[in-house]
């Protein structure tokens, strides 16, 4: 049986105010039209910076420019092999999160274990979900003194099941608060020997994206954390004792929730400023507004290919073949796509004449 998880927190005026800021920015960003080229560029920049900041928190020394060389140009920096593997792993896991969210997957143990495996793997062609740790681990500070002793290994599986059950049953709680609490609880359980912080931040991203707070993939909470690491560690270090069983599990985490929600509000408002600066030309705005979020993202494929297949659509969103075929058929019916090759095996699609100039 899972250990029941019941977080202890209070909805303060600060949290309410920042939740309102998040919703206002989210609504504005949803209706702000961008050309596929601009959107793709901003999204890729956000991925790179998210990878940079999340790995930087763990001590990775590669700069954003160096990360781009490693990820986009297959470059190499002698003596920095470990840093290179870290950014490759996080970037791959971030892409997986986007696919899972697009396909509306629920958070499960297997998904969390797969994200951790991607974070830690040297060979991401043979990734299998990683089991939780099987013995005690500790977190030490710079002086080597123990700053936190997580739950015992025998309790990890039950605690993780309890957390996941709570996530799946928390539809009546605002999604940003669910993400905040899940981040804290994962870090508190500390189910792995290494990679816990990165996996916690990926879990946060998955919950937010799945809950409709993906913001077109353009924001980076990791940047908010990394720009003031002291505040990040102070906010998440809650409880009277450094031992999980001596107050940490029952601690009042209102301070952490306030910190997290404020960071979301700041990150969302920063995206709104960047998008406003890069807004699409007026003659394309009305057309872009007619498209739903998935159609807008699909436009990115047509920047590279004149025609696409149902399989390419499936890979972009993480769909199963049948789901992808149904989506393509719907898009043909509503005038977004046209069929180029009508054979079942080789069926291809192109943008309809109405939208062909958007790519």
pLDDT tens, position by position, 134-157: 999 988 877 777 888 899 999 999
Closest to 241 measured CA to CA, from 143, 140, 150: 150
Q: Where are the alpha helices (DSSP H) in the chain?
A: 13-31, 36-57, 64-72, 81-102, 109-120, 153-168, 175-189, 196-210, 221-226, 229-236, 254-277, 282-289, 293-304, 310-317, 321-333
C-alpha 143/C-alpha 129 separation (Å) is: 34
Would you state the pLDDT for residue 281? 47
Q: Which of 12-26, 83-97, 330-344 has the lowest mean pLDDT?
A: 330-344
Q: Where are the alpha helices (DSSP H) in 237-338?
A: 254-277, 282-289, 293-304, 310-317, 321-333
pTM of the shown model: 0.78
Phi, psi torsion values for 147, nearest 5 degrees: -105, -20
Domains and CATH numbers, the chain: 13-277 (1.10.3290.10), 292-358 (1.10.10.10)
Residue bearing tokens 């993400």: 179
Would you state the pLDDT for residue 116? 96
pLDDT tens, position by position, 224-282: 898 888 888 888 887 666 788 887 878 899 999 999 999 999 999 988 877 766 655 44
C-alpha 184/C-alpha 213 separation (Å) is: 19
pLDDT tens, position by position, 82-135: 999 999 999 999 999 988 998 888 899 999 999 999 999 877 778 899 999 999
Would you state the pLDDT for residue 278? 62
Of all residues in the chain, the percent with pLDDT exceeding 90 is 48
DSSP state of 8: B
> Is residue 38 within 8 Å of 281, Cβ to Cβ?
no
Average pLDDT rounded to a whole number, residues 55-71: 90
Residue bearing tokens 């309809």: 352
Would you state the pLDDT for residue 240? 65
**Rounded mean pLDDT of the chain?**
87
Would you state the pLDDT for residue 12? 97
Strand (E) positions, the chain? Answer: 139-140, 146-148, 308-309, 337-341, 348-351
Residue 162 has pLDDT above 90, yes or no: yes
């Amino acid at each position: 049986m899972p250990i029941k998880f019941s977080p202890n927190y209070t909805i303060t005026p600060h949290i309410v105010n920042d939740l309102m800021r998040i919703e206002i920015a989210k609504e504005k960003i949803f209706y702000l039209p961008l050309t596929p080229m601009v959107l793709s560029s901003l999204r890729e920049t956000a991925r790179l910076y998210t990878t940079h900041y999340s790995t930087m928190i763990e001590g990775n020394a590669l700069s954003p420019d160096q990360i781009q060389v490693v990820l986009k140009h297959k470059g190499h920096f002698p003596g920095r092999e470990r840093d290179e593997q870290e950014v490759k792993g996080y970037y791959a896991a971030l892409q997986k999160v986007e696919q899972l969210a697009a396909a509306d997957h629920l958070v499960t143990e297997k998904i969390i274990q797969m994200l951790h495996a991607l974070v830690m793997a040297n060979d991401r062609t043979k990734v299998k979900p990683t089991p939780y740790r099987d013995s005690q681990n500790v977190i030490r500070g710079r002086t080597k003194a123990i700053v936190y002793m997580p739950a015992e290994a025998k309790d990890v599986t039950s605690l993780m099941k309890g957390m996941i059950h709570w996530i799946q049953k928390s539809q009546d709680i605002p999604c940003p608060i669910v993400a905040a609490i899940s981040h804290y609880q994962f870090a508190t359980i500390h189910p792995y020997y290494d990679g816990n912080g990165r996996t916690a931040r990926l879990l946060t991203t998955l919950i937010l994206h799945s809950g409709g707070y993906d913001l077109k993939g353009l924001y980076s909470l990791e940047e908010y954390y990394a720009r003031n690491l002291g505040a990040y560690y102070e906010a998440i270090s809650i409880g009277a004792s450094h031992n999980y069983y001596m107050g940490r599990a029952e601690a009042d985490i209102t301070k952490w929730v306030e910190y997290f929600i404020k960071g979301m509000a700041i990150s969302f408002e920063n995206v709104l400023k960047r998008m406003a600066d890069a807004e699409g030309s007026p003659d394309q705005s009305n057309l872009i507004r007619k498209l739903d979020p998935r159609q807008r993202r699909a436009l990115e494929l047509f920047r590279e290919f004149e025609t696409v297949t149902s399989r390419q659509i499936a890979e972009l969103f993480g769909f199963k073949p049948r789901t992808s075929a149904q989506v393509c058929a719907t898009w043909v019916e509503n005038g977004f796509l046209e069929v180029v090759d009508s054979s079942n095996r080789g069926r291809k699609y192109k943008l309809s004449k109405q939208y062909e100039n958007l790519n």
